[in-house]
Amino acid sequence: MRLRRCQTVLIEPREHKEIDLELLLGATPRLASTLRWFALAPHLEQEQPLDGAEVALLGAVSPSDWSDAAELARTHAPATIENLLAKGLLVADDAGAHAAADRAARTRHWRPLAAVAHRHLRWRGVDTEIENARLGEISGGAVLDHLGPPPPPALDCAAPERRLGLPRGNASALDALLDRRVTCRNFDTARALSLAEVGAVLYRAFGARTATEVTGVAVLKKGVPSAGGLHPTEAYLLVQRVDGLAPGLYHYQPVAHALDPLREMSAEEAAEHARRFVAGQPWFARAPLQLIMASRFERNFWKYRNHAKAYRATILDAGHLSQTVYLAATELELAAFITAAVNEGDIEDALGLDPMEQGVLAVSGFGHRGALREEVEFDPLNAVWPA
């Protein structure tokens, strides 16, 4: 059998502190500390604990050239080799799921650090309400007591008398729209969106205004900018209440300006998915429509191969789309949201996505705002809610 190391692995020494009564009651009370190694690899869903011998072996095996397993067993304990094979950090040339995942990873042009961060910062099954309670996360008036004063909201780089004042421009329709753009946490759960509303917002944010070719490459012109003009961000819809659409999952096709149905659901099932997708945030789970933004990395990485900025660019693209969703919705007297606190893993499971191929970056959405402000919204201008 021949072996090689997986293409990418980041090894992190991590300290774990826990209560040990003996140490706590000793002359200098302290917590017990354990230091352990963890391997984070982009082709593996779970991080893997390592011992020192495993770390040494990972540093001794080439990720590109195959080594003979019997040869390796002369200098390293067979159990260490077996452990790393079972963990998927060494891969064999015969078969196996780990080897296939590693082979796929080698073809995708990910920058290694970005790949590790993307794979291992995802959530699955997180409920932010439970998690915040567990972590003792504080909100409201107690925040300042706990955290002390924050850095100032704006940065001063010159004394006021040295400043060069700027004109604001005449108040315009865009100003009015920006003032009314308030993240919505109070959706009207009795009111569905119309297809006309959904179509208008999707077209303005995600739709292709034309499809053309640049130097032989098929490209789309959209209302939002995109790194390299590649527009890798896909919009998937989780529909709860849209007139004329069954609850369930859809994909938006930007050239045809049409929805591809993926999976129909009962209303209860759609509501359950909505809650899980936004990690239990009830104010967003109640929106009639969630827009899942998933980057089709291969589209960006086709050009920006193993590039230090490519992953960041895909995330920035999602931000531009989100703001356009906000403005397009606000213009139609609707209200929008975005959240990064999402269970990417659960969303991928529901949509059948491989996170290293199409990665969920955020969930946005929109709907009609309810009449009552039960959840907090940030509207100091009273542009949406009367004083």
**Contacts to ligand FMN by CB under 6 A:** 182-183, 281, 338-341, 378
CA distance 236 to 274: 13
In whole angstroms, the minimum distance from the beta carbon of 337 to ligand FMN comes to 7
Q: Which is nearer to ligand FMN, 285 or 338 (CB)?
A: 338
Distance of CA 145 to the CA centre of its chain: 31
Per the listing, tokens 């540093």 go with 59
Query: What dihedral angle (degrees, nearest 10) is formed by the CA atoms of 308, 310, 314, 316?
Result: 50
CA distance 14 to 293: 32
In whole angstroms, the minimum distance from the beta carbon of 226 to ligand FMN comes to 17
State the DSSP string of 81-126.
HHHHHHHTSEEESS--HHHHHHHHHHTS---HHHHHHHHHT--SS-
**Cβ 71 vs Cβ 10: under 8 Å:** no
Cα–Cα distance list, 2 to 5, 73, 94, 104 (Å)? 11, 12, 8, 18
Return the number of other C-beta atoms located less than 10 Å from residue 273's C-beta: 22
From 284, 259, 261, 260, select the one nearest 274 (Cα to Cα). Answer: 284
Distance between start and end Cα atoms, the chain: 74
CA distance 138 to 178: 30
In whole angstroms, the minimum distance from the beta carbon of 19 to ligand FMN comes to 32
In whole angstroms, the minimum distance from the beta carbon of 58 to ligand FMN comes to 35
CA distance 204 to 321: 9
Q: Which is nearer to ligand FMN, 80 or 281 (CB)?
A: 281
In whole angstroms, the minimum distance from the beta carbon of 336 to ligand FMN comes to 9
In whole angstroms, the minimum distance from the beta carbon of 109 to ligand FMN comes to 26
Q: Which is nearer to ligand FMN, 253 or 323 (CB)?
A: 323
In whole angstroms, the minimum distance from the beta carbon of 162 to ligand FMN comes to 30
Q: Could you tell me the strand order of the sheet in which 32-40 lies? A: 10-18, 32-40, 48-50
Q: Which is nearer to ligand FMN, 186 or 339 (CB)?
A: 339
In whole angstroms, the minimum distance from the beta carbon of 340 to ligand FMN comes to 4
Q: Which is nearer to ligand FMN, 59 or 153 (CB)?
A: 153
Q: Which is nearer to ligand FMN, 49 or 282 (CB)?
A: 282
Q: Where are the beta strands (DSSP E) in 224-266?
A: 233-239, 248-253, 258-264
Q: Which is nearer to ligand FMN, 185 or 296 (CB)?
A: 185
Contacts for 38 with CB less than 8 Å, ≥ 6 apart: 11, 12, 13, 14, 47, 48, 49, 50
Per the listing, tokens 């919505």 go with 184
Q: Which is nearer to ligand FMN, 105 or 205 (CB)?
A: 205
Q: Which is nearer to ligand FMN, 240 or 339 (CB)?
A: 339
**Cβ 289 vs Cβ 202: under 8 Å:** no
In whole angstroms, the minimum distance from the beta carbon of 182 to ligand FMN comes to 4
In whole angstroms, the minimum distance from the beta carbon of 5 to ligand FMN comes to 36
Q: Which is nearer to ligand FMN, 55 or 383 (CB)?
A: 383
